Amino acid sequence: MRPVARRRSLTDFARESRIAQRVIQPDSLNLVVGLTLGLLVCAPFLGGVRVFLLDWTLGPHAALVTPATLGLNGLTSGVAASYVVSIANQLLGAVATWLPLFIFFPIATVGAGRLAGRSPMSRLAAGTLYAVNPFVFNRIYAGHLLLLIGYALLPWAAVSALRAFSGHRGRWITTALWWTVLTALSPHFSWIFGLVILGALISTYFIEHRAVRSVISRLIAIVAAFVAMNLYIIWPHLVTSLPTSVGSVSMDLYRTASDPHLGLFANVLALYGFWRLGPGPTLPKDIIAGWPFLMFAILLIVGAGVRRGLRPDQSDVALGTSDEHFTTVGEEATRAALTTAQTPSARVSPSSSPLRSRTLAVTLIIVGVCGYFLALGSQGPTGAVFTWMYNSVPFFAIMREPQKFVMLLALAMAVFFGWGIERVAHLGEGSSRRTNLVVAILLGVALPLGYSANIFDGLGGQLSTSRVPGAYEQANTLMGSGVGNVVSFPWHLYMAYPFTNGRVVANIAPSTFERPVISGDNVQSGGVSTQSTSQRSSYIEGLLAHSNEIHHFGALVAPLGVKYVALAKAVDWTSYQWLGHQSDLRLILNTPALEVWRNLTYAGVGTPVARVVAVTSVRDLINASNAPTSLSVGAVAAGTLTNLESGGVGSISGAGTATSSRVRELSPVAYRISPGRPGWVEVAAPYQRGWSINGRAAVMTAQGTLLVRVGARGGVLRFTPWAVVRLSYAVSPTIFVGLAAISVWARRRQRTRT
């Protein structure tokens, strides 16, 4: 009976150890600090009013299913994250607009602290610098909240990458799952976390002397699983058209910015360099006269941390640091309890701790250095390599804004900063050591907070909530939902509104109205007017360029399926007063914030075309609309012109007698054309590669819509890539769930054996 009693005692002891570890977590302090930071930064946002940022305008009617969800623009990379955000928006309302920013801070502080490990002091310093720095400051102002959530999760994923190439063979699955989750938040992590995986492979091989066959086979497995779980991104990209052009113009526009005094290299090293320099924000370095000295102090401590990581001493071994990079805290406590109770001589050798500390240090050095030089983009000593990768390596063009690579540098600096602070605390003996301990705690927290001093209170009062005027909801009620688009003016992708206190944000119309919205997609920055590949947008811009010649605007936009015209009274709205003089627009709402017109010539989502003639520019359409015979609702200009002003072959229909009831929208990716007279039919969906009916491909009109030739039996016009997209939506999640289940099962089995 004695052996049975002994096993029961060990089980009870292990269970008690796990409970104790959950109650007294070494990450508790970091969690409290992270929650406090979140409250201090988000203090102006707490409440029921929405927060609009540069690239974050989540209105009350953000759609659950967007054109991107259906693969209509080839970019399905953000579908999963946007779907979660839309659900949160419907459930939580305005809280969903600032909640991601709030939860970022505890996730980042705890994650960086766990990666740094060692003492609570090391964890606290690493977590504070990682969560509060200029990179985070800039991304908050820009509204890149999903990117920041991925950045906060990066240390957690890095722990998985360190485990992937050593120990249990099944650990590579967790790394592939993390890679997929990060990429779902932002496609840039496909490269950013990929570098972390590569750094972990190199350091594990050279420091721990793992077999080449072992590390390479695990790398192949990780990449293969990642590709399989991301087919929903890859397949649509290959079979559809992209919404924006990617080339040298993009690389120049999003180039990493230099500091006017210290230049490019120091600016990136200081975790600055965001390409958009204005309008706003006031950066921390703009208000801190001696910020380079703070940066230098941080770098000195980082240097001490690098030395400590590469040459760990006995104090590191005593702290029992690096094992937690490979096992969880609870696993380590249970294992230690069982080992101690069973056979004291069988404990894990402490010599493995410095080895693993060096593995982590080398990994961070690799990713930090690579992140720094890649963040320089096409500039600096590695500019030629970056340019070659941008032009030649598949999918690398998504890194057109290279400053995002700075997050790798921030990750490395944060961990080394934590180790360096710990080194300061261990200097001296007796009272001197106690003094150093106090100094280290102050430096570990005060130095990062002072380096980004105006991050609190909504970036020093630069961000605030925005109460959308009631006229927008009134307009939404008048227009209702259903088929028929709203074209929104002024025609800008970004603009300042009176209710945002003049702060520039993305156009709010698409998420404020329930109907589909056609709004500006022109970036208007850095001397670049637009990068859009949309012929529909080009057509509208052509109309705006000749607005003084237009008298029947409703007829000109009816082929686009425009049922309503909305004009926000912001920025240059007075230049759109010509809308009030159009014969086929009826004003249905006029408030100090918004005007809305109904298009009297709107006749549905499709129109049979009776006659086709040629056009050379948008002025041909304007002249035809002003002609005595007028332009029919179904008038089109067929062709493949990339710029209507440059001339080319097109067509205009004459007055037709057929009605538009022949075309009915089944879904955004399918239109039924009922039987009738054979001939050309125009459909108001924006043209993209892949539309066809009865095996015959659609033609793009000069307005950017679809023109199809239909027989007497009619048929269904389908966006054929949707079948591929739908299949990928089935395959990718299935593989993800399957691998996640295998990972959980393998971990439980391993714990049971332990």
Q: Which domain holds residue 515?
A: 470-599
In a domain? residue 618: yes
In a domain? residue 11: no
Of 599, 618, 650, the one marking the end of a domain is: 599
Q: How confident is the model at residue 656 (pLDDT cuts 50, 70, 90)?
A: very low
Task: With beta carbons less than 8 A apart as the criterion, state whether 283 and 386 touch.
Answer: no
Same domain, 202 and 313: yes
Same domain, 121 and 202: yes
**Residue labelled with tokens 């004695």:** 2
In a domain? residue 584: yes
Of 545, 573, 599, the one marking the end of a domain is: 599
What does the pLDDT read at residue 48?
84
Mean pLDDT of 383-399: 93
In a domain? residue 10: no
In a domain? residue 339: no
Same domain, 83 and 175: yes
Same domain, 114 and 256: yes
What does the pLDDT read at residue 241?
72
Same domain, 382 and 483: no
Q: Which amino acid is at 103?
A: I
**pLDDT of 164-211, one tens digit each?**
988 677 789 999 999 999 999 999 999 999 999 999 999 999 988 888
In a domain? residue 12: no
Same domain, 582 and 666: no
Q: How confident is the model at residue 243 (pLDDT cuts 50, 70, 90)?
A: low
Same domain, 419 and 404: yes
What does the pLDDT read at residue 17?
55
Q: How confident is the model at residue 319 (pLDDT cuts 50, 70, 90)?
A: very low
Same domain, 741 and 679: no
pLDDT surpasses 50 at 346: no
What average pLDDT is seen over the chain? Answer: 86
What does the pLDDT read at residue 654?
37
Q: How confident is the model at residue 354 (pLDDT cuts 50, 70, 90)?
A: low
**Residue labelled with tokens 């967790």:** 174
Q: Which residues pair with 663 in a beta bridge?
A: 673
| Cα–Cα distance measured from residue 558 to residue 484, given in angstroms and rounded to the nearest whole number | 10
CA-CA-CA-CA torsion for 428, 434, 440, 443, nearest 10 degrees? -120
State the burial class of residue 9 (Cβ atoms within 10 Å of its Cβ: 0-12, 13-18, 19+).
exposed
In a domain? residue 342: no
User: What single string gives the DSSP state of each residue in 401-426?
Assistant: SGGGGHHHHHHHHHHHHHHHHHHHHT
**Residue labelled with tokens 């946002």:** 45
Same domain, 226 and 107: yes
Q: Are strands 504-506 and 594-599 parallel, antiparallel or unpaired?
A: unpaired
Helix/strand/coil for 660: helix
pLDDT surpasses 90 at 38: yes
Q: How confident is the model at residue 8 (pLDDT cuts 50, 70, 90)?
A: low
Q: How confident is the model at residue 24 (pLDDT cuts 50, 70, 90)?
A: low
User: What single string gives the DSSP state of each residue in 502-557?
Assistant: T-EEE--HHHH-SS-EE------BTTB---B--HHHHHHHHHHHTGGG-S-HHHHH
Same domain, 710 and 664: yes
Phi and psi, residue 670, nearest 5° = -155, 135
Other Cβ atoms closer than 10 A to 576: 18
Q: How confident is the model at residue 355 (pLDDT cuts 50, 70, 90)?
A: low
DSSP 582: -
Q: Which residue has the higher pLDDT, 426 or 607?
A: 607
Overall number of domains in the chain:
3
Other Cβ atoms closer than 10 A to 752: 7
Q: How confident is the model at residue 428 (pLDDT cuts 50, 70, 90)?
A: low
In a domain? residue 36: yes
Same domain, 710 and 743: no
Same domain, 525 and 658: no
Q: Which of 196-205, 350-359, 580-589 has the lowest mean pLDDT?
A: 350-359
Of 568, 599, 630, the one marking the end of a domain is: 599
Q: Is the peptide bond before 354 cis (omega within 30 degrees of 0)?
A: no
